């Protein structure tokens, strides 16, 4: 009987841990993963007039945050 109580207690704690991991998975991921900036690429000057016109048409009345 003692082994059964111990087994039920272990299952109960595992269930609680699994539920907590599901609830806090976003927080746990964000705190455990760290991104480092290695190199940055300089901005490239656009020279293709057709491409510039197409970009301007597609982004008319829109704000770009680059």
Report which of 40, 24, 23 is spatially closest to residue 32, judged by C-alpha positions: 24
Q: Which residue has better confidence, 14 or 52? A: 14
Report which of 23, 49, 15, 11 is spatially closest to residue 3, judged by C-alpha positions: 11
- pLDDT (0 to 100) of residue 24: 93
- Please provide the DSSP assignment of 50-64 as one string: HHHHHHHHHTTT---
1 has pLDDT over 70: no
Please give the model's pTM, rounded to 2 decimal places.
0.46
Greatest CA separation for the chain: 82
Predicted confidence (pLDDT) per residue in 19-65, tens digit = 999 999 999 888 888 888 888 888 888 889 999 888 888 888 777 66
Rounded distance between C-alpha atoms, residue 17 and residue 29, angstroms? 16
Rounded distance between C-alpha atoms, residue 22 and residue 16, angstroms? 10
């Amino acid at each position: 009987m003692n082994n059964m109580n111990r087994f039920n207690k272990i299952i109960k704690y595992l269930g609680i841990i699994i539920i907590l991991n599901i609830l806090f998975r976003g927080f746990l991921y964000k705190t455990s993963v760290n991104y480092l900036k290695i190199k940055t690429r300089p901005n490239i000057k656009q020279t293709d007039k057709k491409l510039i016109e197409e970009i301007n048409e597609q982004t008319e009345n829109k704000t770009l945050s680059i």
